[in-house]
Structure 1
Amino acid sequence: MKKFAFLLILISGVSFAQDLQQHIAALKKELKSKPNVERTTQIYSDLTWDYMDVSLDSAIVYGEKALALAHKTKKHQLISQCYSNLGGVYLRKENFIKSEENYKKAIQIRTLNKDFEGVAKVKINIGNVLASKQDYVPATKYFIEAIQYFEGKNDTIVSLTKGNLGLIFFEMKNFPKAIKYLEESTDFLKKNNMQQGLCHTYLSLGDVYLDKKDTLKALNSYQISLENCKSCKDNLGISTLNQRIGAVHSAKGKSENAKKYYQISEKLLKELNSEIEQTNVMLSKSEDFIQQKKYREAYEMLLKVKKIHKEYDSDRYLLETYKKLTLVCLYQEMKDSSAYYFNKYTNLKDEKLKASVLEQTAELETKYQTAEKEKQLLQKEAETKKKTTTIIILSLLIFFLAIVGFLIYRQQRLKNVQQKQEFELQSAIVQIENQNKLQEQRLAISRDLHDNIGAQLTFIISSVENLKFGFPAMETSVKNHLTKISDFTKTTIVELRDTIWAMNANEFTFDDLSSRIYNFIEKAQSAKENTTFKFTVDDRLKNYQFSSLEGVNLYRTIQEAVNNAIKYADATEISVQVEPSRNGISIIITDNGKGFEVHAIEVGNGIVNMQKRIEEIGGIFKIQSELTKGTRVAITLNKES
């Protein structure tokens, strides 16, 4: 979830071109000279703005001091300015309730004193609060009213407010209009070298391009924004940009690069002492953990984020946090927790949707009631205007019903989307449960094979050996036959263990498969001491993964090929070489035995079975052999690693 930088209109008039620390030091030095109450109030007010980019807690302390002294001066302009300052600080801390309370007090004072320019400025900042709360309709209304007032009077404020309008259109996914307003704002700011504004508008442009999946333009905009933020020493902006750039690197799988940017962002936010801002970095880091499948770390970080946003009543970010917690719990098979957070997510989303619809409907109802009163007045003035008035009222009524119908339709559409997401989530949960049941069945079968069939085969071997030693005078042919039975049973036990090994896992890495093949080759080496065996696996394939079926079929095929070389080829050298190919892996088994004419003989069951096993897992099996030149078996498994 991104934190969008809506631009505050600075009523205090402090110049940000100065070095911030120098300005703070100068103001504190002036305080020591004990100026009068009015000047002291103004100094505290200026310090409030300066500390907004240094420490939000310190900004609040100075803001409260300024307000207390302003009331003693009884100067309305100074009092309203102090309320506006506090509104700006609380907006930065995302305490929207206190921010809106302070701005409304400021606008009330300015309205009573007919300070219309001041009213228009505060309207922009209230619009910022509403936009941050996702109340876009009233926010847009405030911005447009401010633009209309300042048009031709103050092009700078018009430009900054257009940037805020661009952000609202971005939030509503209207990218063309978002880019239009942001670029208009940027062009003006560039002409006038207003680095503070450029710091924020380029950040917003980067966010728009990132949502459009144009990462090159996004990173370019972020870099320009970062340069301007550094020039005007906007630490909050610098922190936000490092977080954004880190998120882009994380999405590209460059976790180490992302980590560096997140560390810079966290360091700056700790200096600002903004707990709510730090959670935005934590949300980005949790997404990085999820991509790395570090679900436990992501889960613990999201719990901290949830606690902070609940304290600040920040529903916008709680929605994103609940959504991530739902998925992380699902990945960890915490089904009850996943369902709990999914319910939290859907309930909060429904509450916000209902509140928005009710607010907009109430506004339209007020307009309708006003129109009714106008109708009554027109009827008293002149009977001749009755027809026209009726038409106007009917038009307003139809408009009202159309808007209400549209809101209901939109609510239903959002509910359908929510139900679809809920269905997909429930399907995923069912799939996980089915996989768990299948795994339990496989484990039960493997235990039965090991405990029952394995024990019975061991009993057969023991019985055969007892017969041989119990009857020493037994005929040689009978003893040989019993020995064959014993050897066959031992071989069957080995194959049974291989089967159990395959059943006890959903998938294998090549390391698992390699260790099995090494064991087999060691046994073959002990049986054929004059034969040299060579088995090599490319290091790049150590983490290559197979399903249990693929692992067993590859193992059996390699085993059959090596056995054939031992039994029939009279080979002195047998090689098994495993390398990566373009789309998967390549396994080559070669020997220097006597070979055979592939097309001149009838293919036996062994070769047919090898071919079927490889084709069953989507691979390609080829065998080449010539008399006196040995045999080459090639297996290709086309599967992305």
Structure 2
Amino acid sequence: MSSFAQDLQQLIGVLKKELKSKPNLERTTQIYSDLGWNYMDVSLDSALVYEEKALLLAHKTKKHQLITQCYSNLGGIYLRKENFKKSEENYRKAIQIRTVNKDFEGVAKAKINIGNVFASKQDYVPATRYFIEAIQYFEGKNDTIASLTKGNLGLIFFEMKNYEKAIKYLQESTDFLQKNDMKQGLCHTYLSLGDVYLDKKDTLKALNSYKISLEHCKSCQDNLGISTLNQRIGAVHSAKGNSENAKKYYQISEKLLKELNSEIEQSNVLLSKSEDFIQQKRYREAYELLLKVKKIHQQYESDRYLTETYKKLTLVCLYQNMKDSSAFYFNAYNHLKDEKLKSTVLEQTAELETKYQTAEKEKQLLQKEAEAKKKTTTIIILSLLAFFIAIVGFLIYRQQRLKNVQQKQEFELQTAIAQIENQNKLHEQRLAISRDLHDNIGAQLTFIISSVENLKFGFPSMEMSIKNHLTKISDFTKTTIVELRDTIWAMNANEFTFDDLSSRIYNFIEKAQSAKENTAFKFTVDDRLKNYKFSSLEGINLYRTIQEAVNNAIKYADANAISIQVQPNKSGITVEITDNGKGFDLDGIDLGNGIVNMQKRIEEIGGVFQIHSDLGKGTQITISLNK
């Protein structure tokens, strides 16, 4: 890092020395632009000053290459500063100039930059469109840029919680970068892979990816990447309860960010530290840190991180019994989300309206051109002999046929676009519903648990029967939160593999084991079923049925061994849940709601549900699902 800083300072010193020699206007402009670009890793404020000077001089040179370079650099600086509005404005100006000068490669690169701006604003639909357009242009022409852009696309799917596609695109990008030994790109793709695994709660894979990323970032001396990785690794250690290790990594990150002079990035370290304080129940210190973070993000109008700050402030105030403050920040959180949603809808509506008006103008121009051709043809026909009348008739017939084909193609294209837009809207609505369930109802249930615990500890002389009743309410609410998370998990994916479902079942069995320490649990899945795919409905119904069967064995069977085995069969899969409990006589009892509900769930997804039980010999439930 020290060597990198020295190299940068040396390069900056050389540029400043050359500037004193008073070179011509074009060279002076280039020097200022290079200074702005190099200062991005030293001081963002200085970078902005030099790049704005370069832009003023570039307009005087009237060289479109220099002008677009300055606009692109300014877009990058403002993106680093989280000023998304100005970043997008500068990138769009660069696109406009490059389009006029038919610099299509430059346009494609600028589209990647604008895609990054939209991705940073969590506006994923236009971000995905720009990235795909850039990938289509560069594939076969510049595979390096295409590969890096696939990494960006992977991050979009990660933000939308589509982990399978996120890992797919990031891994494709990583494989290409490893093959070509591109350490700078590997620094970022492994960082992104680590973020995906961390969000999936796979901390071992996350830490491994972060460590590989850190090695590559150090080798190419990427201070911002090194800072971010130290922040991420610190967060992992914090989540594991290792506060001392977390503190060491946060200190390294803060030191680097002070050198880079980026308040936004420094505030993100504070945000991570606040999570560490929350884990340690040091709520007052977390509250003071979050107030500092809130002030910075309000100053820079960084809505993305301000939303996260409001959410944490809501919880911290709740833990400190600051009910009014908690309600205030909760309302601020919801208001900011609603405003962002309205802004996105208005922006997309305006974009669609512009496209519609452009299409109408083009259609009118085509009609005018067709009318002009028709008049010219008529004049020629009148001036020619009858011999040419047959030829003109044939031409008119062919023109009409082509026009019909064109109209049919336009109709099919409009229908396809409408279907894609409807699918995007449905997906966005599903994500919005799952976020609301998690953020609103989840927060309210957490508040109920906190209130019940406060009542129990606030009134030590309370009757035992009331305390027991409050404990039941608290346990029921915690169970409801777990079931809510399972439902949100199922809603956030169109389909998932048995590997995804297995992780949920393992978590459930782990909780059951802690409750029934003397009971032996066994869960086995045939390796051939690892990539077996379910729809969200099939997955949640199968999971709920297995969960109900295990709960029944624990509650009623007095079993000390419970087994879940999943095997393939000729037409699909077979799931067997077996216990060695006391069993029951199927003909001698009425089936309860639990067993009836299990049967309905399996039949709803086209499966077969069977139950066999003998007194004193245990119970076996068999579920068969067809492909």
TM-score by length of 1: 0.61
Q: Is the 8 A contact 1:44 1:66 kept in 2?
A: yes
Report what 1:130 is aligned to: 118
Partners of 2:116 and 2:229 lie apart in 1 by 20
Residue of structure 1 in register with 2:142 after alignment? 154
Identify the residue that residue 469 of structure 1 maps to in structure 2.
Answer: none
Alpha-carbon distance between aligned partners in 2 of 1:388 and 1:108, rounded to the nearest angstrom: 30
The one-letter code of the counterpart of 1:186 is T
Q: How does 1:190-589 map to 2 (within 5 A)?
A: 190-364=178-352, 382=400, 389=407, 393=411, 396=414, 400=418, 403-404=421-422, 407=425, 410-411=428-429, 414-415=432-433, 417-418=435-436, 421-430=439-448, 432-433=450-451, 436=454, 442=460
**1:606-617 to 2 correspondence within 5 Å?**
none
- Residues 420/230 of structure 1: CA separation in 2 closer, same or farther (3 Å cut): closer
Amino acid of the structure 2 residue aligned with 1:95: N
Whether the 8 Å CA contact 1:239–1:266 is kept in 2: the answer is yes
Distance 2:272 2:414 in 1: 47
Task: For residue 97 of structure 1, report the CA deviation from its aligned partner.
Answer: 1.5
Asked if residue 120 in structure 1 is aligned to residue 99 in structure 2, the reply is no
| 1:21 correspondence with 2:39 | no
SS at match of 2:321: coil
Q: CA deviation at 1:184?
A: 2.2
Percentage identity across paired residues of the two chains: 74
Match of 2:565 in 1: none
Moved more, 262-271 or 186-195: 186-195
- Aligned match of 1:62 in 36, 47, 50? 50
Alpha-carbon separation, structure 1, partners of 2:20 and 2:187: 34
Q: Offset of 1:271 from its aligned partner?
A: 0.7
- Check whether the contact 2:319–2:450 (CA below 8 A) recurs between aligned residues: no
Q: Secondary structure at the match of 2:41?
A: coil
CA distance 1:371–1:126, change in 2 (3 Å): closer
Call closer, same or farther: CA 1:155–1:420 in 2, change over 3 Å.
Answer: closer
**Is 2:121 the partner of 1:103?**
no
Q: Structure 2: how far apart are the matches of 1:261 and 1:224?
A: 16
Deviation string 1:32-67 (CA, Å, 9 cap, x unpaired) is 333222112212211222111122122112212222
* Aligned-partner residue type, residue 303 of structure 2: D
Counterpart residue number, 1:169: 157
Counterpart Cα distance in 1 of 2:48 and 2:209: 32
**Match in the other structure for 1:460:** none
Query: By how many angstroms is 1:153 displaced?
Result: 2.2
Q: In the aligned structure 2, how far is the partner of 1:220 from the partner of 1:157?
A: 26
1:483-537 CA-to-partner distances (Å, cap 9, x unmatched) read xxxxxxxxxxxxxxxx9xxx9xx9xxxxxxxxxxxxxxxxxxxxxxxxxxxxxxx
The 8 Å contact of residues 20 and 233 in structure 1, kept in 2 or not, is answered as no
**Residues 1:188 and 2:206 aligned together:** no
- Helix, strand or coil at the partner of 1:266: helix
Q: Which residue of 1 aligns with 2:78?
A: 90
Q: In structure 2, what is the Cα distance between the partners aligned to 1:311 and 1:318?
A: 10
Work out whether residues 371 and 393 of structure 1, in 8 Å CA contact, stay in contact via their aligned partners in 2.
Answer: no
Deviation, 1:252, is: 1.1
Q: Relative CO higher for 1 or 2, CA cutoff 8 Å, sep ≥ 6?
A: 1
Cα 1:81–1:386 change in 2 (3 A) is closer
Q: 1:362 to 1:305 in 2, by over 3 A?
A: same
Counterpart Cα distance in 2 of 1:31 and 1:128: 33
Distance 2:251 2:438 in 1: 38
Change (3 A) 1:398 1:371: farther
**More moved, 206-215 vs 277-286:** 206-215
Are the structure 2 counterparts of residues 20 and 396 from structure 1 closer, same or farther at C-alpha, using a change threshold of 3 Å? Answer: same
Question: What CA distance in whole angstroms lies between the structure 2 residues aligned with 1:248 and 1:288?
Answer: 10
- Cα distance in 1 for partners of 2:145, 2:420 equals 35
Aligned-pair CA distance for 1:183: 2.1
Structure of greater Rg: 1
Displacement after TM superposition at 1:355 (Å): 3.0
**Of 227-236 and 375-384, the range deviating more from structure 2:** 375-384
Tell me, yes or no, if the aligned pair for 1:70 and 1:79 is still in contact at 8 Å.
yes
Aligned partners of 1:402, 1:255: CA distance in 2, in Å?
Answer: 47
Aligned residues: 436
Measure, in 1, the Cα distance between the counterparts of 2:87 and 2:427: 33
> How far 1:364 sits from its partner (Å)?
4.8
What corresponds to 2:133 in structure 1?
145
Q: Deviations over 1:373-407 (max 9, x none)?
A: 88887899749966994796488369638845862
TM-superposed CA distance for 1:361, in Å, is 4.7
Greater shift, 208-217 or 413-422, is seen at: 413-422
Q: Residues of 1 paired with 2:239 and 2:298: CA distance?
A: 28
Report the CA distance shift for 1:394/1:369 in structure 2 as closer, same or farther (over 3 A). Answer: farther
Give secondary structure in 1 for the equivalent of 2:186: helix
Contact 1:375–1:389, Cα closer than 8 Å, also in 2: no
Q: Hey, what's the Cα distance between the residues in 2 that align with 1:37 and 1:434?
A: 73
What TM-score does the superposition give when structure 2 sets the normalisation length? 0.63
Amino acid in the other structure paired with 2:136: Q
TM-superposed CA distance for 1:352, in Å, is: 2.0
Give matches, 1:43-62, under 5 Å. Answer: 43-62=31-50
Find the aligned partners of 1:132 and 1:183 in 2 and give their Cα distance. Answer: 21
